[in-house]
Structure formats: structure tokens, C-alpha cells
Amino acid sequence: MYKEIIINNIDEMNVFAKKVGKTLFPGYLLCLEGDLGAGKTTLTKFLGASMGITDMINSPTFTIMKIYEGEIDLNHMDVYRLNGIGMDYDLEEYVYGDGVCVIEWYKHIIESLPEEKLIIEIEIIDEFKRLLKIEGSGKYEEIVEKISN
């Protein structure tokens, strides 16, 4: 399942994140891609807030992963620096675990990821406007429909 939606401003990104938040379950895998400044971490911040996480969520670029504890933990990864390395950082337990796993720059470790996942690619249209390309496989197909309406 594949859909595209336009996000016109940061408030709409927050509304979108809340829609995604309503579909979360233990073991959820959300893969994000997009240029620097496209909104991957912003989407993750809003998603964390929708999960009731009050900690400051920021990019784990240099630490690879940050874990935010909540009713369901949020495992936030930025795997940009792992290009070609794969899962040598023992990330499998988090990707395949019981938390919600959000992976920025997921294509850098795509060979190590399960087939079933939700993918959101964020394309910059202008300073505020974004095009979200949303794709889901397996159990995530129906989620694409829910979050794109």
C-alpha cells in the first residue's frame, strides 16, 4: 500500500504524528527517510508526545540510538553513520523488540530490517511544506490507509 500526502506546516505534521500515534503497538517499526532538515526528527518528537513521552526528543545522530521510556518505549535510531555497516551495533533487540522503533535514514541498514514495516519518506517542497510518501507492507498496509485520510 502506498499513499502520498502534503503537509503544509508544522501544525499539520503534529496532527499527522497523532494519527500515526493512534496506530502504535509493541514491536511497531517506522522507517524514515528524507534530506537533512526534512522533518524526520520533528515527526519523531511529535510521535513521542502522542505516546505520552515528556522527555526532550532530539536526534541520536552521534549516539546512534536513544531510548525514551513510556507505556511503550520509543527506540529512536539515526543510522546515517552506519552506511554499509549493517547491524554491527547490536540494534536487533530494539528493532525486533517490544518498543516502538523509529529509524531515521533506514536505507543504510535496510538489508537488516524485517520485511513488514511502515516507511515514510519526507520530501521538502518549500520552507514549511512537505510531501510524505507513505508505504506499508504486511500488517502496516491498513495503517497506511488510516494515517493518510
Residue 116 — φ and ψ, nearest 5°?
Answer: -85, 120
Residue 86 has pLDDT above 80, yes or no: no
Domain ranges of the chain: 2-139
Q: 34 and 110 in contact (C-beta within 8 Å)?
A: no
pLDDT confidence band for 121 (50 / 70 / 90): very high
Write down the pLDDT at residue 61: 79
In three-state secondary structure terms, 14 is helix
Residue 8 has pLDDT above 90, yes or no: yes
Write down the pLDDT at residue 83: 65
Q: What is the pLDDT of residues 59-82, one digit of tens each?
A: 887 889 999 999 999 999 999 887
**What superfamily in CATH does domain 2-139 come from?**
P-loop containing nucleotide triphosphate hydrolases (3.40.50.300)
Q: What is the pLDDT of residues 26-55, one digit of tens each?
A: 999 999 999 999 999 999 999 999 999 999
Write down the pLDDT at residue 84: 57
pLDDT confidence band for 92 (50 / 70 / 90): confident
Apex CA 130: angle with CA 111 and CA 6, to 5°? 100
